[in-house]
Structure 1
Amino acid sequence: MAGAPSTPRRRITIWALFLMVLVGLFDLGILLGSFLLWLPSTMISLGTQIGGLPDLLVLWILAGPLFALIGLAAGWLTFFFRPRNGMLIGLLVPLVWLIPLIVLVATGEGRCAGGIC
């Protein structure tokens, strides 16, 4: 059709690919770090229920590898169609897990003076 407007094709630039590789490395770092902490967190939660935290918070703490894998896979899949959205998904999905975890640890440090209360 000669009169139909064509949509411009988005090209993936070297800069976007470099940034996505950095986001992927961030996701892999979160995956490795949360997986290394997964077994000790599981043992603590089974034994003491982490100082009486509700089950939902314990499951949130243990969900780090899942959030990192979702961010890594969904970020790269989306990157090939819309590079900016892929980078945002790859970055924000693990941060959705990490920021509340940091807040939880900081709250515990402030209230319990460094111990499990």
Structure 2
Amino acid sequence: MRRPPSAPREPVPARLRAPLVALLAALVAASAVLLGAGSAEAAGYRYWSFWEGNGKNWEYATQGPSLLRPDDGAVQGFRFAVSEDSGDAAQPRRAPDFGAICADTPAQDGRKRVALV
């Protein structure tokens, strides 16, 4: 028997709510995976490139940040890159000028000041 359009809807029985919610969650998750599968692919490696400032320019770091021990006043930079090799990786956007970045940070005995860009 069909209910008239103006009749109020009956609530979903409690025993059916949990399976319906689980089904809905599974459908949402599956659609997110399927929609994400068609994303564009860029040529090359995707990674955070690591740079050292020499006062005026950026130089691609020859050691990773876990091995490098910077001096006081050093500038280090990171930039997300999609590149075939380090030769075409994009440099950090800001200039490696420690004085401009950390002008308000005074030197202290026993401490190092390192600017991160």
More strand per residue? 2
Normalized against structure 1, the TM-score is what? Answer: 0.23
| Greater RCO (CA < 8 Å, at least 6 residues apart) | 1
More helix per residue? 1
Normalized against structure 2, the TM-score is what? Answer: 0.23
